[in-house]
Amino acid sequence: MTRVLVVDDEPNLLRALCINLRARNYEVHTAVSGGDALRLAAAHPMDVVVLDLGLPDMDGTEVVAGLRGWTSVPILVLSGRSDSADKVQALDAGADDYVTKPFGMAELLARLRAVTRRAASKDDQPVVQLGEATVDLASHRVSRNGTDIHLTPTEWHLLEFLVRHPGKLVSQRQLLTEVWGRGYESAQGNLRLYMAQLRRKLETDPARPRHLLNEPGMGYRFQP
């Protein structure tokens, strides 16, 4: 049984989440503050955390950072804030994905299954399919129908980081820091340029990508 910690101070939403999750055989634990969430997670290891950003004692981003100090548990953020900067902060702190309030229960459950599935299969597969292209992580080789596709070192590093986190929304800042290093956190032009190059090389229809996806103002996601 998957253990899920739900952190939210809205009684009605908390009740609805508990009912729906328990009906699907989740073992549900709840907290209504950031402090309670950190203490509960430390005392009872969880498989996944569903976390509201607006908590009475601290910002949800602080809770994400606190958890990331000692655990890699998947974190799905709930946000009623319209400003994408808050969601980006949560992603940069270590959240795995987010759902914007109000949300449909079906969407939340699908996102929850996705983050727990990624955690369960954390050992990377050496070969990943990207449409018609095959990405061999062990040999650093990309091919289509047996023909190699040449990638520059920067293109490879960017692609590798995304495919090693399938389905995860990775913020622009995370990608820029990972691929280009510190000091390039605001170089979004670099990211747009290299993502466009990867799509031209790997997507069947670069203008309508199916696998290398962008969420404007937020980041990028590799969708298997």
Integer Cα distance of 36 and 129 in angstroms? 41
What φ, ψ does residue 49 adopt, rounded to 5°? -125, 130
Q: Are residues 84 and 138 in the same domain?
A: no
pLDDT digits (tens, 9 = 90+) for 47-70: 999 999 999 999 999 999 999 888
CB atoms within 10 A of CB 10: 15
Q: What is the CATH number of the domain that holds 106?
A: 3.40.50.2300
Q: Are residues 73 and 145 in the same domain?
A: no
Sign of the torsion formed by the C-alpha atoms of 38, 44, 46 and 52: negative
The structure's pTM equals 0.71
Q: Are residues 150 and 55 in the same domain?
A: no
Q: Is the pLDDT of residue 123 over 80?
A: no
Q: Are residues 133 and 47 in the same domain?
A: no
